Amino acid sequence: MNAAHGGTDRLGGVVIKAGNPAHSSPHFSDIVRMEGVQKYFGAIHALRDVTLKVGRNEIVGLIGDNGAGKSTLIKVMTGVMPPTSGRIFIRDQPIDPDDYSVRMAHDLSIETVYQDRSLADKQPLWRNFFVGRQITNRFGFINIKKQKAIAEEILLKSIGFRGAGITVDSTVAQLSGGERQGIAIGRAMHYEADLIVLDEPTAALAVKEVRKVLDFVGKIRDSGRACVYIEHNLAHVHEVADRLVVLDRGAVVAEIKPEDMTVAELTDYLISLQHQADD
């Protein structure tokens, strides 16, 4: 838990609004905004003059072909790597790209969930909830009892895995892909992230698990947060997103409201982009 949130009672409940920046600072319009962002990997021009904003209480679906630059875009957005040039604003405040880091993104209430990389496999779940944010007592020792109690609450309330035979002592390796994703999202929700970034959360999941993840995304919006959701399955992203941003060879080529285009039309549109690339 970081000081930026202030006033949050860690034992009192999973989601407590007090001190959440989204609720306490009404004077910003976008949780994150990228302007004219370029990213080169050597000769590869991975992001071309990308301008993108994510408002509050908004689920933005990020779609595009393999290699379009989706993961690169969210890595730049969440402090994993700096842009080659361009500007990033968090809550309308400019960020110094040289200072920006994953830790700083955390502190600014941005959480990123990856299918594979978000959780430590051999660790029990309760430890996974507190990576980099240990709760210590006044002697500096980790407060295991308190951490377990909070983890228990996240399991029960935030994720709804009750009865699935999963406890805070289960290891991540015992979980299915969908359950891992649920835990990672639950963790992000627990930290009251104002922006939750999901990179391909439903890749290679069973149908039932996909439904869980889509429900989780719905919960993100219901709890007043924003989300960037990268997804290959157009039906899924069409269902949950408020706005779809299409990336093609590093450039934003379209912004679409799901209600303006059917899944079939969207599919045809993306295929037409690929054909342009082949010409």
Q: Looking at beta carbons, which residue is closest to Mg ion?
A: 71
Rounded distance, CA 42 to CA 238, Å?
34
Rounded distance, CA 39 to CA 49, Å?
8
In the complex with ligand ATP, the residue whose CB is nearer, 66 or 163, is: 66
When asked if residue 233 is in the footprint of Mg ion (CB under 5 A), the reply is no
Which tokens go with 231? 């997804």
To Mg ion, the closest distance from the beta carbon of 138 in angstroms equals 43
Rounded distance, CA 72 to CA 191, Å?
24
In the complex with ligand ATP, the residue whose CB is nearer, 10 or 232, is: 232
In the complex with ligand ATP, the residue whose CB is nearer, 46 or 196, is: 46
Identify the residue among 69, 178, 182, 186 touching ligand ATP (CB under 6 A).
69
Q: What is the DSSP letter of 242?
A: S
In the complex with Mg ion, the residue whose CB is nearer, 86 or 201, is: 201
- CB neighbourhood size of 255 (10 A): 11
Q: Which residue has the tokens 């990576």?
A: 131
Q: Which does 66 bind (CB under 5 to 8 A by kind): Mg ion, ligand ATP, none?
A: ligand ATP
Identify the residue among 70, 127, 212, 225 touching ligand ATP (CB under 6 A).
70
In the complex with Mg ion, the residue whose CB is nearer, 64 or 86, is: 64
Q: What dihedral do alpha carbons 204, 238, 250, 220 form, nearest 10°?
A: -80
In the complex with ligand ATP, the residue whose CB is nearer, 81 or 135, is: 81
For Mg ion, the binding residues in 46-75 under the rule CB under 5 A are 70-71
Amino acid at 244: L
Q: Which residue has the tokens 């450039």?
A: 251
User: Exposed e or buried b for every residue in 119-152, given b needs 16+ CB within 10 A?
Assistant: beeeebbbbbbbeeeebeeeeeeebeeebbebbe
In the complex with ligand ATP, the residue whose CB is nearer, 24 or 272, is: 272
To ligand ATP, the closest distance from the beta carbon of 74 in angstroms equals 8
Q: Which does 83 bind (CB under 5 to 8 A by kind): ligand ATP, Mg ion, none?
A: none
Among 128, 122, 132, smallest CA distance to 168 is for 128
Q: Which does 180 bind (CB under 5 to 8 A by kind): Mg ion, ligand ATP, none?
A: none
Q: Which does 264 bind (CB under 5 to 8 A by kind): Mg ion, ligand ATP, none?
A: none
For ligand ATP, the binding residues in 31-50 under the rule CB under 6 A are 41, 44, 46
30-41 sheet: strands from edge to edge: 44-55, 30-41, 85-90, 93-95
Identify the residue among 11, 26, 66, 259 touching ligand ATP (CB under 6 A).
66
Among 241, 214, 239, smallest CA distance to 227 is for 241
Binding site for Mg ion (CB under 5 A): 70-71
> For binding to ligand ATP (CB under 6 A), which residues are involved?
41, 44, 46, 64, 66-72
